[in-house]
Amino acid sequence: MRIIDNGNEEIRRPEDEEITVKRCLGERYVGCGMKNGTLHVEGIPGNALASYLDGGTVYVDGNAQDAAADTMNAGLLAIKGSAGDALAYGMRGGRVYVLGDAGYRAGVHMKAYEDKKSILVIGGRAGSFLGEYLAGGIIIVLGLGNEGRDITGYFCGNGMYAGTIYLRTEKQPLNLSDKLIKRNVDENEKENILCPIIKDFASVFSIPVERCLEGGFIAIEADKSKTYSQLYAAV
């Protein structure tokens, strides 16, 4: 094993190399801007983990703190524990998988652009303001082990104007904005859109996929008839 002084520099450089970071404890910017290769993180990485991630793969065996996957562009961030607040803010592409819970403001202003489509899957529950300002991409909350409970907090999807939030629940999210549409997901959509993503999610964490797909899903999308432009009057 090599001891590396300037860790992040080293992590960014390698091509298709596997690196393991051990005893991580609050160190910020781990895997920041990583283009390729695979990084295994043991312990608790600090804020801004995998920010600007650009194609590399980051596995975290513990919990992540705030602002993970910030402005991520491509690649995979898989967190076996839970994530803090502001997960995947402004993410444009790639996959973020969290097996546990996510804090407040997960997936705020996630986007899609040309061939890029950001995907965020949360195995447990999400805090308030999930997918606020959502501008594209897909957010899935599975609520594993929380069946029958609310799996999102307040103000889910507030102000979203594109993209879709899927929730594995029968329950209406708490105080859902009247500018959003909630619908039940049919078998066809489940099969074609959700299944491939959730299968991938399950295989990353080696958990049974059937459990993740059990029961019905609801989808939340912006009500296109209620645009914000109608609120303005030019002087």
Interface residues with another protein (CB under 8 A) are: 25-26, 28, 43-44, 46-47, 63, 65-66, 82, 84-85, 103-104, 127-129, 132-133, 153-155, 158-159, 174-175, 228, 231, 233
Residue among 93 and 153 whose Cβ is closer to another protein: 153
Name the pairing type of β-strands 119-122 and 95-98.
parallel
Min separation Cβ 167 and another protein, Å: 18
Min separation Cβ 86 and another protein, Å: 9
Residue among 26 and 145 whose Cβ is closer to another protein: 26
Residue among 94 and 163 whose Cβ is closer to another protein: 163
Min separation Cβ 215 and another protein, Å: 24
b or e along 186-217 (b: 16 or more beta carbons within 10 Å of the residue's beta carbon)? eeebbeebbeebbeebbebbeeeeeebbeeeb
Residue among 154 and 205 whose Cβ is closer to another protein: 154
* Distances 204 to 26, 75, 217, 224 between C-alpha atoms, Å: 24, 13, 21, 35
* E-state strands within the chain: 18-25, 38-44, 54-60, 74-79, 95-98, 112-113, 116-117, 119-122, 135-141, 162-167, 180-184, 218-222
Min separation Cβ 47 and another protein, Å: 7
Q: HSE (CB half, 13 Å, CA atoms) of 228?
A: 7
Min separation Cβ 104 and another protein, Å: 5
Residue among 9 and 115 whose Cβ is closer to another protein: 9
Q: Hunting for tokens 């051990």 — which residue is that?
A: 22
Min separation Cβ 213 and another protein, Å: 27
Residue among 54 and 66 whose Cβ is closer to another protein: 66
Element (H, E) at 201: helix 195-205
